[in-house]
Structure 1
Amino acid sequence: MASSELQLPPGLAPDLEYNQLQVGTTIAFAVTYFFCTLFLLLRYLQAFKLVKEIELDLVFLTMSYAAGLVYFVTILKLMTHGWGRHVVEINQTDMFNLNKILLPNTITYLTTPGITKLAMLFILFKINPAILYRILVVVIGLCILGYTVTLSAITGGPCNPNLGLESLTCLQNVALSHAVLNIASDLAVIALPIPTIFSLNFSLRTKLTVCLMLALGSMVVVCSIARLPYVIALQDDPDFTYTQAILGIWSVVEVNLGIFCGCAMRLKPLFVKYLPGLKLFSSKQQQTKTIAGTWTSSTKELHGTDPRKVQHTYQLHSVQKGSVDPIMSEEDEGGIRVQHEYDIHSDRGRSSRLDELDGGGGTKW
């Protein structure tokens, strides 16, 4: 169908400054970017108050946050030249200016999700020291970096929209390739830590919290998949300026949701310190440490011994039958109780590999 034959939807006038699709895109960005801003500020608060360090993943997320803002600014510029309108509403001058802005808009979108996923991989790299696991993290990161740089170079080269309308087909092929690779890399990043996380001895509450985090991450995949039909439709759609805007709504939500998830992955220390009532990260290890801490405090009070300065204390007591605490003692045939008293030290073993998600502070997983 030729562009001149396109019918405008009811109520849409060519002189309308912003149509519903353009307003909807702006609202979608504003809502999702607000949560990105809030959680990024929380990450910086944690970095300065608790962790005392600006970690590499936070640097990358800050870059993604800035790139996401640039991406939306280019969308606003595109709107002034017909992006989000039907082709029949756009004159030759607007089409020329739209193609000029399309280059920075496309490159910004191609790079932002890649930077966000690299930030997540920096976090995931630390949670498991297994060689195979870390090799997989590095391989996935190199693949993301490779296709991001390659597609960005192609967009700025042979597919540059400033070369004319003939370059739009090339640009649409780049968009389709990126959509497929983006979905594959999203799935890889989400699936990568699942075996490690669920092999640890977490409480049900902690496992549910982790599942919620993975569910939020899967929403990024949903956005990527939802974009795909519109990317495919651009191949033969004469009303491409309108279809691009529908695609843009999913794009801004995908970009901002990825940044939000990347920030939320490391906020446990802040929640544990300032919102302990939520108990989102309670685990069996924490419960055991609480019981042990109560026991050693009682022992110190009774015997005047500071258990923090003693590695092993063996105390013999005469006890009446039935007065033995089954949790803290063992009773032999002679009625003598051997009470073992130990220091409670942090264990950096396999069960605490997810401590790296804390950023070095707060209560451990």
Structure 2
Amino acid sequence: MSTAGQVNGALFPDQIDPERAVESRLLWMMSIYAVLHLLAIVFVALRVYTRLFKIREFGIDDAFMVCAGALGFGGGLVVLIVMGTRGGLGRHIDTLSQDEITIFFKMNFLQLVTSTLVGIACVKISIGVSLLRLIPIGWHPRVILVTIGFVVAYTIMALLSAFLYCTPLAGFWDRRIPSTCFDRNLWVFFAYFNSCSNVLTDFIFATLPISVISTLQLRRKLRYYLIYIMGLGYIAGCCGIAKAACQTIFRSNPDQTYVELNIGIIAGCAPTLGPLLRGRLGLSNRDNEENIYTQRSGVPRSTHGLPASKFGYVKAASLYEQHERDSGASHFSSQKGPCVASTSLPGHDS
């Protein structure tokens, strides 16, 4: 444990290099953040439109993704604007006043809780629930459910570590308040663990659907499109790796920033836009050959439903199937055999 509260304006040198004091990355940082936040909002809006007006079915996974988008906007972009206008975002920390530092770390705490922790958890839960609808039988659902449980567990642990780090909590962002805080090394450990857990779950959720797609008989263009879209989850994982690497040099380079949540939202929403983009991209798979609805599973072909998951949510009709049903298209090929997989590949992440 360490004691805070003995810090005042003398923490920083009285003489600061004027050139260093005016250096700022604010415009560059806000430009990147704004573009990614707006892209994430657009993808969430397109997902909602597709689900409500193309598929006519709004599910639990969609609700979680909408929550992630709202948290990303409110706890991300809005907070960053406050940090930029009042908290010295983009400037060297040793050139800021104590009031600016306090505002910065207060907004940083809000961003940590809403965007970095709860927001990313919502993205992963949304993807997990979507994958349960895509792969509702065999060993895949068990892996998905365990992964979702792991996401919930380490997110709760991270929230507890944030809220209990300092007593009183205000000591987290205001060093002038007498407070008792845990050792910094413990905080760094929790940060590493959370980052590594995010990377692990990103790769799990990216690999599961790709492993299924590779076993299906699809037109080449559709197969490559689906693998590419689902592979966006690996980009979110790479962002997590970069974040963990930056955390190792935090003391010597405190100006690092992260865009993990927005990449996760984009990767999670992109696969659900198939019914909206399929005609434009020529991704239909209505050949006489075995199509994406067919997979070696041992489950009889049915127009009713696949076995319900523990969420009571899985339905036989996927995003693509619903779209084809509404347009009067046939659900299945004329070939005989088991059928379990759907052409919809909802959700992928961060």
TM over 0.5: yes
Output the TM-score relative to the length of structure 1: 0.69
Name 1:78's counterpart in structure 2: 83
* In 1, Cα distance between equivalents of 2:50 and 2:62: 11
Q: Is the 8 A contact 2:195 2:240 kept in 1?
A: yes
Output the TM-score relative to the length of structure 2: 0.72
Which of the residues 193, 196, 214 maps onto 1:198?
214
Deviation at 1:64, TM superposition (A): 0.4
Which of the residues 37, 41, 44 maps onto 1:40?
44
Return the structure number with greater helix share: 1
Q: Is the 8 A contact 2:117 2:159 kept in 1?
A: yes
Which of the residues 259, 278, 281 maps onto 2:281?
278
Deviation at 1:73, TM superposition (A): 1.8
The answer to whether residue 29 in structure 2 is matched with residue 25 in structure 1 is: yes
Identical-pair percentage: 21
Name 1:257's counterpart in structure 2: 263
- Long gaps (5+) in structure 1: 290-343, 360-365
- Long gaps (5+) in structure 2: 1-10, 176-180, 290-329
Paired residue total: 284
Deviation at 1:50, TM superposition (A): 2.0
Deviation at 1:259, TM superposition (A): 0.8
Name 1:157's counterpart in structure 2: 164
Secondary structure, in 3 states, of the residue corresponding to 1:50?
helix
The answer to whether residue 76 in structure 2 is matched with residue 69 in structure 1 is: no
* In 2, Cα distance between equivalents of 1:137 and 1:97: 39
Name 2:225's counterpart in structure 1: 209
Aligned AA for 2:36?
Answer: T
Q: CA deviation digits over 1:228-252, x for unaligned, max 9?
A: 2221112x33x63xx2xx2x2xx22
Q: CA deviation digits over 1:297-352, x for unaligned, max 9?
A: xxxxxxxxxxxxxxxxxxxxxxxxxxxxxxxxxxxxxxxxxxxxxxx763697555
Q: Where in structure 1 do 4 or more consecutive aligned residues deviate above 6 Å?
A: none
Q: CA deviation digits over 1:191-220, x for unaligned, max 9?
A: 122221111111211111022113322111
Secondary structure, in 3 states, of the residue corresponding to 1:287?
coil
Deviation at 1:140, TM superposition (A): 0.4
Q: CA deviation digits over 1:11-64, x for unaligned, max 9?
A: 5444x7xx2x22222111221222222222222222232222211111111100
Q: Is the 8 A contact 1:159 1:171 kept in 2?
A: no
Q: CA deviation digits over 1:54-99, x for unaligned, max 9?
A: 1111111110001001222222223322333213211222223333
Aligned AA for 1:184?
Answer: L
Q: Is the 8 A contact 1:127 1:357 kept in 2?
A: yes
The answer to whether residue 187 in structure 2 is matched with residue 184 in structure 1 is: no
Between stretches 180-189 and 155-164, larger displacement belongs to 155-164
Q: CA deviation digits over 1:134-153, x for unaligned, max 9?
A: 11110000001110111112
* In 1, Cα distance between equivalents of 2:101 and 2:70: 27
